[in-house]
Every structure is written in C-alpha cells, then in structure tokens.
Structure 1
C-alpha cells in the first residue's frame, strides 16, 4: 500500500488483503531482497488459501462465528509476539491515541465480516477483482483524512480503477447484483483502516498498533459472534485449525520479509495473491473467470500499481 509500512491488516483481504505491508514492519537491517520476495509470495499464497477456507467454512457456519474463533487465535498470537518484543506488553498497550486504535481494530473486524460474506455470495474471483481497488481509495482519501497532496496523476489512476470496477460489474447488463456492493464496501472500510493506521503511526509504534488491532478486534468479534455459537463438525476442525495457523504463519512471513528488504521493493509481489485466488476459485470452487472480470480486474490492479509506482518515485525524489 502506499507510503507507510504500518498499513497492513490481520489478514488479506483481510480477510488481509493483496499488496498490504505488515503492521509490524521495521526498518530493514539488511537487504536480502530475494529471500524477502519469496516470503512475500509465500504469504500471498497462504492468504489466498485462507480466503478459500473462509468461503468454505462461512457457507457452512455463521461467518461471524468463524471469524470470532479466528480472532481469538490471532489475539493469542499478538499477545505472545508483543510480550517478546522490547518493553513487553506494558509498552505495547500504551497508546497516545487509544480511541482511534480501538475504532480501527473494530473497523477491521467488521471489514472481515463483510468480505467473507462477499466470498460466499459472489465467489473469490469477483470479490477480489472489486476489492483490489482499496489502494486507489487510500490515495483518494489520503487528502481529506491525512492532509496529503493528491496530484492529478493519482486522481487519474483512481478514475481508471473506477472504470475497471464498472467493467467488472457491467451495470445495466442485467448481471449487476446488489451483492456486488459488499466487496466495494469492504474495500472502503479497509482503506479507512489503512489511513487510520497511518494516522496513529505518527504517535504510536507499529507494535502498539498491532496489539490494539488484535485485541480490540477480538473483543468486538466476541461481543458479536458469541451469540452465533454452534457446534463444529469433526471433519471441519482441521480446516478451522489450518485457517488460524495460516494467519499466524503468513503474518510472521510478512514481518520477516519487511525486516529483510524495503517495503517499496516488495509491495508489487503481494498482488500474486490475486493469481492464487483465481486459481483456487476456478479449480476448487468451480468459479468462472469471465472476460469482463479479467479485464476489469487487470485495469484495477494496473491503476493500483501505477499509484504505488508514483508514490515510490515521489518518495525517492523527497517530494512527499
């Protein structure tokens, strides 16, 4: 995503997300870009697999129940990771903007619910084709939210991305469904989450933001999901465990990747998640990669890549 390495989610599309730096990114100690690229691509594969598992479990059980269990595991992972960091939990819990930290954690949890519901109704491919516009939304909203200057080139990229979404949706053709609002709503929520993460990053460390993301999200999901408790079939327990373990593994890979190389060099490789999602959607769930979805998705991703490239160029020139 854009300019700050703290804008990553718990998972992608977040249920994580493509092109998302991890919330624990630190200045690289040494540049081992090849290893870092492998780690990024590996995490993208795991996130895509998680999306597939989320779609499967969400169609069988209440999505909020599954996400609650996922967040419980994630909260334990966050606590253990923060406890081992310098200063321990006492340092991680101290935020200068606790209200915003809590809000962004809750917002991410709600975004995951919306996105998983989109997986169930629209499938993986169609959901990701629309959700991929979130970097463009971050560019568009960075002006009013963060006071950043957004030039005409980035506005042109946002317009191109919007055109790509229209191609995916084919409004007026009779194919458009109100369910298509879900992935776009998820993208908006995730973009706002990313911007708020950059905002709190001005005062709080990445570890503090990571802690509040996991804990406030887990509390929010417990308040919502506990009312949807249901027994889990024995055959689905391995999938649930794989879903939870995959999240911890993928985030650890992200953290290590951004310790080894610059975020700006690695971000484009996160888009490989779209490739894996498409393969899983077609081969496992019997989805169809329609020509308009492929074309529109390519335009959205291309616009996002241009936005990333433009931000990288301006950062190198010291203009931002």
Structure 2
C-alpha cells in the first residue's frame, strides 16, 4: 500500500476512533450518574485487561515477551496514572457534562508541549510557547474565573488534561526502550489491578439495562483502543493527530443531542482558540521532526 493510501486510511481510522471514544464517554457519563465512578471504571478496566492479555498472547513470545521491560516502575506508574485520569474525567462528565469537560480537556496537546522540556528534555521554541500561552487564554475564556462565582468543578477536566498529558509524555519516554505492545500490556494490566484495589469497595448492584450499557462501554473501549493502534500502524502519528480533535465535535454533539446540554458562547470561543493553538503546536512539532 502506498504512503498516500496509508495516510488516507489513517485519517479515516482516527476519525472513526474519535467517534467510538465519544460514544464511550457518553456511556460513561450515563453510568457514572447512576453508580459510583470507581466501580464503573473498575469494570471497564476488567474488560480492557482481558482484551490486552488476549492481544499479547497472540503475539510472538506471548505474555512473557509482552511483559518484558527494563523500566517496570515507570510502566506501572503510567498505568496507575491513566486509570486515575479516567476516573477524574468521568467525574467531570457528571459535574460539567460532555461539552464543557471536553472543551477544557482539549488543551492537553498544549500541556504535552509545555511539559516535554522538563520531562523529556526536549527543546520548546518561542513559537510553541506562544501557542501554549494563546491556548491557555482559551482555557481562561471557558472557565471564566472572576465572572460571578467561580465553579471549582471547572478545574476537574483541567486536572484530567494535565494527568493525560503526563501519561502521554511518559509513554514517549518508555517507548525509547520498550515496544508499543509492552506499553499497551502494562497500561491495561496495572490499571486493572489499581482499579480493582480501589473500586471493589464501591460495588453496588446494577439493573439489567445498565449491565447492557456497561457491556457496550467495555466493547467501545476495546474497539477504540484497537482502532487507535491500527491507525498508528498505517500512518505517522504527527500526520493523523490533528484529526483527534474530532472527538471534541462528536462528544459535544452527543452532549447537546442526547443529554440536553448547551454550548455557551464563551465555550465556543475558547475551544476555537485552544484548537487553533493545538493545531499550530502539532504543526510545529512535525516541522521540527
């Protein structure tokens, strides 16, 4: 397959992946409104871990090869960090809804750029620093601090974005010595262990219809991760990453159409600024490479 075809397929996979993840977020919002967040994420991770293990067993070398790493502490911390980030983000869905949670979370590529210096030792030029500053102006416009009484809940998705940015940087760090399959294995298994230890204390019975929604949540999670891996196999990450912003579009549409949320003018303006700054940052990173 030629590179243009690879890129085209990669873009299609990324757009479809963002739609699947948006559906997953909608299911998470519904279930977390009815049950404890820790329990919902725990069950989701059980299925995720089973999916990761089944993938690893089919690879050459099996589970032993997938688990082999020279940096187990960093790998385990990555898994714990992602599990905690998912809990925080799902909690944000119940507090703010899908629209405003994703509006703030959209700043995570800017956080990745800002933290790449201290975490990975990468050089961040003045153009990217300017884009980061502009992007955070967009965040401030969305949060509206000082406008009436500031809602502390608005900081929750910002915390999730910070955690996800650090997770992304640590993923790049471990990739210097570990394969994608190894990082994927550690992400699923350590996250499942952490969530089981934390979530089992919050177990509560679920009605049959919600078990159906939970099954759909697990399936969309596994499907989304598989498609994302496939996307990065057929095209360069820097080329398809800008299309990840479609998740914001899909999630906002679901928030409005399914959950009756509204898009305030300041949120729309802030998102436009953040996405523009994020796309510029991704473009500069690709130019540097």
TM-score (norm: length of structure 1) = 0.88
For 2:39, what is the secondary structure of its paired residue?
helix
SS class of match (2:129): helix
1:166 aligns with 2:140: yes
The alignment status of 1:240 with 2:217, answered yes or no, reads: no
Residue correspondences, number: 288
User: Runs (4+) of structure 1 moved beyond 6 Å?
Assistant: none
Contact 1:169–1:175 (Cα < 8 Å) also in 2: no
Q: Confirm or deny that 1:96 pairs with 2:64.
A: no
Q: 2:251 aligns with which of 262, 265, 277?
A: 277
Deviations 1:165-194, CA, capped at 9 Å, x for gaps: 010011111153000110011111111111
Q: Which runs of 5+ in 2 are unaligned?
A: none
Query: SS in structure 2 opposite 1:150?
Result: coil
Instruction: Give the Cα–Cα distance (whole angstroms) in 2 for the partners of residues 167 and 275 of structure 1.
Output: 19
Structure with the bigger percentage of helix:
2
1:37 CA drift (Å): 1.8
Give the structure 2 partner of residue 231 of structure 1. Answer: 205
TM-score, length basis structure 2: 0.97
Name structure 1 gaps, 5 residues minimum.
1-27, 316-320
Q: Which residue of 2 aligns with 1:252?
A: 226
Q: Counterpart in 1 of 2:130?
A: 156
Residues 29, 260 of structure 1: 8 Å contact kept? no
1:286 and 2:222 matched:
no
Q: Give the C-alpha shift of residue 303 in structure 1.
A: 0.8
CA distance in 2, matches of 1:121, 1:33: 38
Take 1:246 and 1:269, find their aligned partners in 2: how far apart are those partners?
A: 19
For 1:3-27, what per-residue CA distance to the aligned partner results, in whole angstroms no more than 9, with x for missing partners? xxxxxxxxxxxxxxxxxxxxxxxxx
